[in-house]
Amino acid sequence: MSLNKCIRSLASSPIRLLRLSQRPLSDHRQPTTDNRQSSSYKFVVVGAGSGGLAVASYLSRKFPNQVAVVEPSPQHYYQPIWTLVGAGLKDIQDSVKPTASVMPKNADWIQEKVSHFAPEDNFVVTEGDKKVSYDFLVVAMGIGLEFDRIPGLVAALGTEGVACNYSFDTVGHTYEQLQKVRTGNCLFTLPNPPIKCLGAPQKIMYLAEEIFRKNGVRDQVDVTYKTAGGALFAVEKYRNSLLKVCEERNINIDLFRNLVSIDHEKREATFQHLDDPSLHEETLPYEFIHVCPPMGPVKELKASTLVDATGFVEVDKETLQHVNYPNVFSLGDCSNLPVSKTLAAVGSQSGVLRRNLMSVVKGEGLEAKYVGYASCPLITAADKCILAEFDYTGTPRETFPVDQGVERRSMYHMKADVMPHIYWKMVLEGRWDGPETYRKVMHMGRV
Q: What span, in angstroms and rounded, lies between the C-alpha atoms of 406 and 436?
A: 21
Kind of pairing, strands 384-390 and 67-70?
unpaired
The answer to whether 197 is a known catalytic residue is yes
- Active-site position among 6, 164, 186, 197: 197
Q: Which amino acid is at 353?
A: L
The answer to whether 376 is a known catalytic residue is yes
Strands of 221-227's sheet in order across? 162-163, 288-290, 184-190, 221-227, 252-254
Q: Tell me, what DSSP letter sits at residue 32?
A: P
Residues paired with residue 132 on neighbouring β-strands, in sequence order = 39, 124
Nearby residues of 105 by Cβ (< 8 Å), 6 or more positions away: 26, 27, 29, 57, 60, 61
Looking from the CA of 23 toward its CB, the CA atoms found within 13 Å total 14
Element holding 302 (H helix, E strand) = helix 299-302
Q: What span, in angstroms and rounded, lies between the C-alpha atoms of 17 and 77?
A: 20
- Active-site position among 6, 186, 334, 376: 376
Q: What span, in angstroms and rounded, lies between the C-alpha atoms of 341 and 345?
A: 7
Q: What span, in angstroms and rounded, lies between the C-alpha atoms of 342 and 301?
A: 20
Q: What positions carry a catalytic annotation? A: 197, 376
